[in-house]
């Protein structure tokens, strides 16, 4: 299962790298994954549950949901940068504009997973790790991600423009086209 998780994260990196035409911004989006994983595993540990198959499925769902939140912020900020905005203004506007959709999808997923976490339904106890992993991981990672992703994006964009854009191999697609 761990191998599948690593392969999934690598596949996400490659797809995001193609999307952003950058080596660095996929790392920015994926920077929120450790908080999600730690949040999900911490909640399983607090409730005395093992990382079963359902818990692992919860981690996969959690990774997808949290990654989507990072994509929303980074994608919006990149669009604003391409429109000519300053880096600071672009990331602040991205955070302000994408906060409501991020919170809406997070709370929809949390409220949808609460019945699973409480163990309702036939054989609900076996699926409880899935719900607890999703609910706990989303709540913990959401609080941290709203602060970590914009700051991480800011510094990674500075690193990209000051260091990596000077090396032909690591230039962004739009920077390479501009040269």
Do residues 134 and 40 lie in contact, with contact meaning Cβ atoms separated by under 8 Å?
yes
DSSP secondary structure letters along the chain? -HHHHHHHHHHHHHHHHHHHT-SSHHHHHHTTHHHHHHHHHHHHHHTT----HHHHHHHHHHHHHHHHHHHHHHHHHHHHHHTT--HHHHHHHHHHHHHHHHHHHHHHHHHHHHHHHHT-STTHHHHHHHHHHHHHHHHHHHHHHHHHHHHHHHHHHHHHHHTGGGSGGG--HHHHHH-
The pLDDT value given to residue 122: 78
At residue 179, the pLDDT reads 39
The residue among 156 and 122 whose pLDDT is bigger is 156
Summarised one tens digit per residue, pLDDT across range 125-149 is 888 999 999 999 998 888 888 888 8
- Entry pTM: 0.81
79 phi, psi to nearest 5 deg:
-60, -45
- In this prediction, residue 173 has a pLDDT band, given cuts at 50, 70 and 90, of low
Name the CA radius of gyration of the chain, rounded.
Answer: 18
pLDDT, mean over the chain: 87
**Residue 178: pLDDT band by 50, 70, 90 thresholds?**
very low
**What does the pLDDT average to over 93-120?**
92
Per-residue pLDDT for 177 more than 50? no
User: Which residue is associated with the tokens 């339904």?
Assistant: 121
The model's pLDDT over 42-95, given as tens digits with 9 standing for 90+, comes to 999 999 988 888 888 988 888 888 888 889 999 999 999 989 999 999 999 999
pLDDT at 161 over 60: yes
Read off the tokens for 75.
Answer: 């994608």
Show the tokens assigned to 85.
Answer: 């905005």
Q: What is the homologous superfamily of the domain 30-70+100-160 according to CATH?
A: Multidrug efflux transporter AcrB transmembrane domain (1.20.1640.10)
Q: Give residue limits of the domains in the chain.
A: 30-70+100-160
């Amino acid at each position: 299962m761990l191998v599948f998780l690593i392969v999934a994260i690598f596949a996400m990196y490659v797809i995001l790298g193609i999307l952003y035409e950058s080596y660095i911004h996929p790392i920015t989006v994926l920077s929120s994954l450790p908080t999600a994983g730690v949040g999900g595993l911490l909640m399983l540990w607090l409730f005395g549950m093992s990382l079963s198959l359902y818990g692992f499925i919860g981690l996969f769902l959690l990774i997808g949901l949290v990654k989507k939140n990072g994509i929303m912020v980074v994608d919006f900020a990149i669009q604003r940068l391409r429109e000519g905005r300053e880096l600071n203004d672009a990331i602040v506007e991205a955070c302000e504009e994408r906060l409501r959709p991020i919170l809406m999808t997070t709370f929809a997923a949390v409220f949808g997973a609460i019945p699973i976490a409480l163990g309702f339904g036939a054989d609900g106890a076996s699926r409880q790790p899935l719900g607890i992993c999703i609910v706990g991981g989303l709540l913990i990672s959401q609080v941290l991600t709203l602060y970590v992703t914009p700051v991480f994006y800011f510094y990674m964009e500075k690193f990209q423009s000051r260091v990596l854009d000077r090396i032909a191999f690591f230039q962004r697609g739009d920077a390479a086209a501009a040269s």
